[in-house]
Structure 1
């Protein structure tokens, strides 16, 4: 059975992928780690760069005996998997870049990284978690998945919030996009307030073997807002392997 690796984003956690683990579990060995400082790994020392996160995930794969795999990353996790691809793409069968981009300063974001850092210090981790999680849904706090998503975000340690924002701000991976060799799916919700269309378009336009899926009436959390559509798109892309 092939492995499908799911890498969550900033203030996320592995349990955000429960619907995908259930859907794909009969076809793939689903491996969804909690990044250091987030989710069940809130207690681990924080990491301060996207390359450090990439090295950590690759290390976890090897420690779990995983060499070849499909790879999906969401948001900051999409940045991490781009760095993983830079290091390990000979072992990656298919790549999904979901709600993400190649420029870490996040042009067009609902607020700048600097504003997020300042507000996180002023408001505290819990309030920051709920405020930012609300921006991930088209219907904000009214989305049925908001409360569970916000509860996961609240697990992020204050140090992890600052370190994660610093890591994103300091990173860019656009120089590597033309060198990505795995066939890639770029998946984006048309109401995404975090990663604007120009980020998704750059990935699609620049990665040599790329496909594009734009989901209408969704924001930054398509896998929670429309899980059936998300699973259908990702599952169809992965099933085409070998064509």
Structure 2
């Protein structure tokens, strides 16, 4: 793991491979380790970079008042500091929300997008009532634990080969940081950004995603000009871990095309 300082924050990241740059943006209550199957598979052909967002993994805690625009600015700062602009950005779940805000604020650093099982913010994709209910549920969760097998993350039992990884990641979750990120997602409505996207865009969704249902994917495809949607059968919300081979196949094909 390497670290770079951006606007006074230490941002940790993993980097491997050579070739066109691909930057991976993890979901909420996760860090860059969640992309291990993708980094391992694609480093043979691409420069793959997975960040730990502020407040996650090896990165600095989130400062007071940190919001969605700050996550986006930090990510853009990392991309520029690593001299990989413009690059492909790959995000999942909350990571999609961060990428959409980055595209609004820093479109020049983006070559293409891969958006998986995500949201234009919870408010934007699910409505205010569902966004508020999800946030309330997170706030009621015990302070000393985060369940990596939260119902709805997987279509079936969590994949056994990734349980040690998920447990290690969940053990490192910082409650304040998790709530900061997911509060930003609960309040965000980025539907207006979807119509402005003018770079090649690949959508990847689990067919049985209960957290971000396929109706969200179809709305993304309708609003993002030229977006293509790949649906992975029998797969839930964390499609990159539940079906890594299928996910990687779609991703590699898109990256070669673009």
TM-score (norm 1): 0.88
Alignment partner of 1:149 is 2:166: yes
Local SS of the residue matching 2:115: strand
Deviations 1:216-236 (A, max 9, x none): 100011111111110000100
Deviations 1:166-216 (A, max 9, x none): 101111111121110111011100111111122111111110120010111
Deviation at 1:120, TM superposition (A): 3.9
Sort the Cα spacing of 1:145 and 1:92 in 2 relative to 1 into closer, same or farther, 3 A.
Answer: same
Q: Counterpart in 1 of 2:236? A: 219
Deviation at 1:3, TM superposition (A): 0.6
8 Å CA contact 1:11–1:129 kept in 2: the answer is no
Local SS of the residue matching 1:175: helix
8 Å CA contact 2:207–2:232 kept in 1: the answer is yes
Instruction: Tell me how far apart the structure 1 counterparts of residues 103 and 29 of structure 2 sit (CA, whole Å).
Output: 22
Number of aligned pairs? 239
Q: After the TM superposition, which residues 108-147 of structure 1 pair with which residues of structure 2 at under 5 Å, given as runs?
A: 112-130=130-148, 132=150, 134-141=151-158, 143-147=160-164
Deviation at 1:112, TM superposition (A): 4.1
Q: Counterpart in 1 of 2:117? A: 99
TM-score (norm 2): 0.84
**Correspondent of 1:194 among 211, 229, 239:** 211
Alignment partner of 1:158 is 2:182: no
Local SS of the residue matching 2:147: helix
Q: What is the RMSD computed on CA atoms of the aligned residues?
A: 2.3
Sort the Cα spacing of 1:206 and 1:136 in 2 relative to 1 into closer, same or farther, 3 A.
Answer: same
**Stretches of structure 1 lacking an aligned partner (at least 5 in a row):** none
Local SS of the residue matching 1:129: coil
Q: Counterpart in 2 of 1:73? A: 91
Instruction: Tell me how far apart the structure 1 counterparts of residues 135 and 196 of structure 2 sit (CA, whole Å).
Output: 33
